Amino acid sequence: MPRLSVNINKIATIRNSRGGNNPDLIKVALDAEQFGAEGITVHPRPDERHVRYADVRELKKVLTTELNIEGNCREEKFVQLVLEVKPDQVTLVPDAEGQLTSDHGWDTVKHRDYLTEMIGIFKSAGIRTSIFCDPDPAMVTGAALTGTDRIELYTESYAHHFKTNRASAIAPYVTAAETAKALGMGINAGHDLDLDNLHYLVQEISFIDEVSIGHALVCDALYLGLENTIQLYRRQLIN
């Protein structure tokens, strides 16, 4: 059964919109763990518009499940933060400065040497590594050549086309996941996954290790409550 890592960026966005500490990001993370989350994901950005670097340091002190830090390893402060905090996993995402949200995977062929160097730095510190990757076998193969432990399949395209033709939407992801598995890498998935499309994803790719979900889960929690929502998402992960 895939693990559910709850991305709490949106909680931080709400907090930052009014200043102060309401909602309390650390308490939400601890509550999410108590309610069934098997990991917490954060994606600190240089402008700290949602999760702040200080938040990450505090989370590391108190979390009892896995901490996954996503971000752009081209940012020196991000690299320093990850090496200081030593999360369970770092997910490398090719964001541009000021980008609203992640919208593509790495070109693992073009940036192979660079990614190999960065993967080596993080792995030497004992941190599991994952590369944000489009569902393209060439990119998956390129990722394997960097030495990464896992890839995270960028699932926006799957989510976008799910309601019109789910079989067609999932097909490239199945191929990419099977390629990754054959090359000895673990498989994570994330972006625009929700209560409608999550179960079909893990039904068709039963060997996914982890899904990272934030925006849809927080939106659902506004209506359904956080504890109930986390349990509903976990039920979708049962094959």
**Catalytic amino acids?**
43, 70, 191
Structure tokens at 41: 């994901």
CB 115, CB 131: distance < 8 Å: yes
Task: Return contacts of 106-115, CB within 8 angstroms, 24+ apart.
Answer: 106/131, 106/132, 106/133, 106/139, 106/143, 107/139, 107/142, 108/133, 108/139, 108/140, 108/141, 108/142, 108/143, 108/145, 108/146, 109/138, 109/139, 109/142, 112/142, 112/145, 112/146, 115/143, 115/146, 115/148
Alpha carbon distance 165, 171 (integer Å): 10
Tokens standing for residue 87: 């999360």
- 3-state class of 66 per DSSP? strand
Write phi, then psi, for 15 (nearest 5 degrees): -60, -50
